Structure 1
Amino acid sequence: MPSRPYGISADYDVVIIGGGPAGATTAGLLAQNGHRVLLLDRERFPRYHVGESLIPAFMKPMDELGLTERMDQRGFERKYGGSLVWGNNQVPWKFSFLKGKYPYAFHTRRADLDALILDRARELGVHIIEDATVKEPIEEDGRVVGVRYALRGMDGLREVRGGLVIDASGQARVLSRRYTDVKWHDALRNVAVWTYYDNCERLEGDEYTNILIEGLDGGWFWAIPLDKGTVSVGYVTRVASAGESGQALEDLFHAQRDRTTKLRKMLAGARQSAGFRTARDWSYHSDRFYGDGWVLVGDTAAFVDPLFSTGVALACMAGSTLAKIVDQIIRHPEIETKALDRYATAYSGFFDEIREFVERFYDQTKYKEFYHSLAQEMIDPEHERKPADDFVTLISGLSGNHPLFQITLDDLIPDPSSESVPAQN
């Protein structure tokens, strides 16, 4: 077995596969609580990734990591709401995030954002190895106790062991492919094609920083303002519809773009500044979120269609919750199975809530009041708030009463004061 990289131990409390937002958030918060964490990523950061628009719920784990001020300092564009051309007759409407602790989110270049979170994890004490491709888990008596990985440009495999292995490898699904099956959600079996434009017009007035979501009868476009006049523009449609069109995805993008209203105005004087990228079959979830010695977080566990930009926030929120749970598992190993079961149940439930809302929102025959009432039905059945406020609360990821954010393990942890005391002679 080749020697280990300089300064890297043979074993850790936790080994994490993947340095994206889910993995880096989980790693940083565990290290912040004093645990020994190794994170392995096959890429060298910064690296490209799609998903440039965020929602306010993302701010909570960033607050825990001490990164909110740095995001402003890095010049990320603040996002205060969204503008839609959606619903019956594609009537334009808009929303603003509610006032409160997190009344805004950000639009970012993901390469910069992901590097920022990973660098913070490094500051907090996480040992990070980039250019490291995990090849296989190490199993003993049916339990995952570590991984074998290869370093770019070097021969052989190296081993590292951990009390728990967390798979945050995204859609690569390094462990998930071995131990779980994936369920694809047919109602959201979509394909996306996207590119970037420079010299774009912006939306006017208080919509200046909004994400634009423009629906058409066969799909929808996103337009995300980044920096220096650059806008990320993508088209999403059903896989089946794209196939039936007989057009290449790039040609379909151009044809549908010319049918838009607000987006076409934004791009009137713009120039395309990048090639096209594509992704398909975006909505899925794993049938298991944990096993003996391993657990999933982020896109390797589940992903929802990008309509409301929930991906990064869901991954980081789950990472924050998982870090709290793993912290207790390290201190009380006997609770591992029951604690991870609570995490998996809550995480899967939160994912299903978002997925159900997105699936029903895709019906573009309704008016905005229908979508508002739909949100209220899901998160505010007692009608304690206005339907429009419930809509914004839901798509901000701040419904707050979901079990994912309220997992308690106190009943699983033995109370030292209740232990029997030997009788005195």
Structure 2
Amino acid sequence: MFTFIECLRAALISIKAHGLRSLLTTLGIIIGVASVIATVSIVQGLSFNINQQFEGLGANSLSVYSYTSFDDQLRGRFGRITDRDLQLISARVNGIQSITPILASRFTSQVHYGARSTYGRVIGTSESYRNVNQLFIEHGRFLSASDNQSRRRVCVIGVTVRDNLSLPENPVGEYIEINNEWFKVIGLAEAKGEMLGLQQDDIVLLPYNSMQRLNGNAAELDIQIQLTVQQLDELPDVSEHIRQLLRKSHRIEGDDDDFKIQSAQQLKDSISQITSAVTLVMGGIVSISLLVGGIGIMNIMLVSVTERTREIGICKAIGAKRHVILLQFLLESLLLCLLGGLVGLLMGYAAGAGIAAMIPNFPPAHVPLWAVALSFGFSALVGLVFGIAPAAKAANLDPIDALRYE
């Protein structure tokens, strides 16, 4: 332990004695670590933000929507999810907690209020939409079963629609125009922000039957079904049961499904895989600069060995063992890399946070602990790998030849 402390002290003295050279030596490590941390912090910040948003969707939710392959489109065959499918799933599938249809508008999504107009996602749905999508009401109330049965001309809007139309802070009781029809605002949904760059607060929710009447031509009906299950562990069974029911209902034999069933967790996992792959590729590319920095450190350490040849000879002459000389030079190389890694970590996080702040609507940078550990670990590895050759050269010097060196 005493030997280690003395070698560490000698390494620190040597680094301090050649401060400018030590700084220039570690520059490659600093740039390499800073590049890795900046890249990882930006990508992981986006991934962290997406994961937080997906948590609001609920892990026990499923979405069922139509799907048409390219070959079927060429044949003029299009998959559809209809009211009959909704009723079939509701009646035949056990374990469903809430289920709601989603019917998008076939007309323009322009909404008017006085002289102002805006575009929003106008959809028809039921009272269960609130539970399935974990939607909360800030003012007023949500759609009810009686609104749907009576085909009332009422709606619930998001805060973006309210702001774009310059409606009052509490817009309940105001009337907006959709496709030449007037609808009374009965509720304002709480703000949910953006998700994957898409605005979630530009919604206009109408009763499902009211939207059917606005769309017309029920023969071309194509809806999306969203549902939640009572128990999370029942999700795979419920999904498979729905798949078998729809295949039988659509008379599919041997062909691919004309629908998709997707859970929020599946979508979250897919996006996580993409961000992880991007992090790995980008981190691997910029980490090449770490190798360049390691070569620079090895070069300077070899120069240092040459400069201190007589010092090494004196140490050996008074009894310093080979492993002590080896440890001293290895520690010096290791300390240079670790100090460079620390400075690079701080600079990288600052750069990542700055870049994320300059991009509009981009989530803040996030540096996971594994990235910090990986940066320091890789820096230490570079110090050991590229410091071993100079340290071995110093340890193997003959003391007589070293004392004669000029």
Q: TM-score, normalised by structure 1?
A: 0.21
More helix by share: 2
Q: TM-score, normalised by structure 2?
A: 0.22
Q: Of the two, which has the highest radius of gyration?
A: 2
Greater relative contact order, per chain length (Cα 8 Å cut-off, separation 6+): 2
